Amino acid sequence: MTRKMVANQGRRFSVSVERVDPSTLDTSAAVVPKTSEQQKRLDQAIAKVESRLFLYSRLSPTQKGDVKAAMFEQRVPRNTDIITQGSQGDYFYVIESGIYEVTIESIDPCAISVGPGGEKGTVGSGVACGAAGCDSSEFKKVNEYQHEGFFGELALLHGDKRAATVTSLTEGTLWAIDRDSFRNIILSHEFRRIWSYEAFLRDVPLMKLLSEEEIWRVADALQPEMYLKGDVIIYQGQKGGNCMYFIEDGQVSVYCRTPTNTVTSNDEEQALGEANCGIEGESTSSTPENRPGEVALKILSRGAYFGEAALVSREARLASVRAESDSVQLCRLDRQAFERLLGPCQNIMARNVEKYREERKRMGVH
Ligand code: 1OR
């Protein structure tokens, strides 16, 4: 089994992909003094939700410190609207204590009259359907938080209006951070990640075909993955490969099974079913030593890419790829982003697929 280490699992929050000039980025955030007792309570409130608070959990320790420094305590009485649906986002909240309900003012399907043929009538004609649990109220409770959780992030991140109303059902204590501090810390983290990938991609020859804006978008779509020496990243013959890789650091070898060595081990067969990525790339250095049962094709290092052939051809992976240095840092680009963003590069990649095939024939592997 390969020991893949995925640095960034789970759903990505798309914060913004607008390109930003580093010199114009405001990273300032409020600093609100706290007693050590307050600090302790804040730490506890955040610790309870950190694994779910994805945007926060992937910040650096310094940035986490900045978020906490900007937070302030807010005691709330019961029956108070902390957030009102439709208003502008001002604060993000982490719950220390109290019960809060989330309601959405919506067009209740039960309040829409339904004609004899099932066609919908006008909103507000107000025919109650009589179904169990249906109160035909315009406010629907969609969520409840009990003494832990967080809310108010959506409007701040996406610049939208508040998606729901959040009301305290008991008195409680919240920790709030203002919109600008929240955005400055979180966004500067996102932008730093994209800038560092963008700088790396500029040195990748293939990227010369793309505009600055396009490179930025590719950088935004990359996800880090790390492998250790000996890990097989891609298996020859694997079908349905759905991503390609750029090498940020380290070396990988590309190899094929020799024609007589067509039997796959159990381990490999299992991985064939699991792994989802493929082969091929730009040669950047020497041809590696052959191992028994393998024909070594090439060694790839920083700036090279592989795995694009199966994305272009939609066929099985042409070769295997293994981590050769102690650790290999890769940036993964998924098929969807590949198809959306690398249009201008696809001709070159398609030509490469032909080249790979010829090279394989020349080396006696088919
Ligand atoms: P906000 O900034 O839009 C209202 O302000 C907050 O309520 C929102 O961020 C979320 O943090 C929180 N739909 C929308 N907002 C929700 C929901 C929700 N639950 C909590 N909030 N739900 C979808 C209902 C169709 C419920 C999801 C379980």
pLDDT at 20: 63
pLDDT at 108: 53
> What's the one-letter identity of residue 335?
R
Report CA-CA distances (Å) from 335 to 146, 239, 243, 305, 311: 40, 13, 5, 14, 7
The mean pLDDT value for 45-54 works out to 90
CA distance 138 to 364: 71
The band of 205, judged by pLDDT with boundaries at 50, 70 and 90, is confident
Is the pLDDT assigned to residue 4 strictly greater than 50?
no
Residues of the chain with pLDDT > 70: what percent? 76
CA distance 319 to 55: 37
Mean pLDDT lowest for which of 60-69, 74-83, 127-136, 208-217?
127-136
Nearest protein Cα to ligand 1, atom 8: 152
Q: How far is the CA of 146 from the centre of ligand 1 (A)?
A: 15
Ligand 1 atom with the smallest distance to the CA of 156 is 2
> Which of left, alpha, beta for 98 (phi over 0: left; psi -120 to 50: alpha)?
left
pLDDT at 273: 33
Q: Name the token pair of 163.
A: 């998606």
Ligand 1 atom with the smallest distance to the CA of 163 is 3
Q: How far is the CA of 107 from the centre of ligand 1 (A)?
A: 16
Is the pLDDT assigned to residue 137 strictly greater than 60?
no
Helix (H) or strand (E) holding 119: none
Higher-scoring residue by pLDDT: 187, 225: 225
Higher-scoring residue by pLDDT: 231, 354: 231
Nearest protein Cα to ligand 1, atom 23: 142
pLDDT at 109: 55
CA angle in degrees (0–180, nearest 5) for 348-273-239: 30
pLDDT at 249: 94
Q: How far is the CA of 150 from the centre of ligand 1 (A)?
A: 10
Is the pLDDT assigned to residue 21 strictly greater than 80?
no
Mean pLDDT lowest for which of 90-99, 132-141, 225-234, 343-352?
132-141
Residue 211: helix, strand or coil by DSSP? coil
pLDDT at 214: 85
List, chain by chain if needed, residues with CB within 6 Å of any ligand 1 atom.
83, 89, 102, 104, 142-143, 151-155, 162-164, 166
The band of 115, judged by pLDDT with boundaries at 50, 70 and 90, is very low
Is the pLDDT assigned to residue 277 strictly greater than 60?
no
Q: How far is the CA of 155 from the centre of ligand 1 (A)?
A: 9
Q: How far is the CA of 165 from the centre of ligand 1 (A)?
A: 8
Residue to mutate (ligand 1; options 90, 102, 179; most atoms within 8 A of CB) = 102
Is the pLDDT assigned to residue 82 strictly greater than 70?
yes
Q: Which residues pair with 305 in a beta bridge?
A: 246
Residue that the structure tokens 């959506």 belong to:
154
Residue to mutate (ligand 1; options 143, 162, 165, 182; most atoms within 8 A of CB) = 143
pLDDT at 134: 53
Is the pLDDT assigned to residue 160 strictly greater than 90?
no
CA distance 217 to 205: 17
Q: How far is the CA of 19 from the centre of ligand 1 (A)?
A: 28
Q: Are 307 and 277 in contact (CB under 8 A)?
A: yes
pLDDT at 359: 77
The mean of the pLDDT values for the chain is 79
pLDDT digits 0-9 by tens, 283-308: 444 566 778 788 888 999 999 999 98
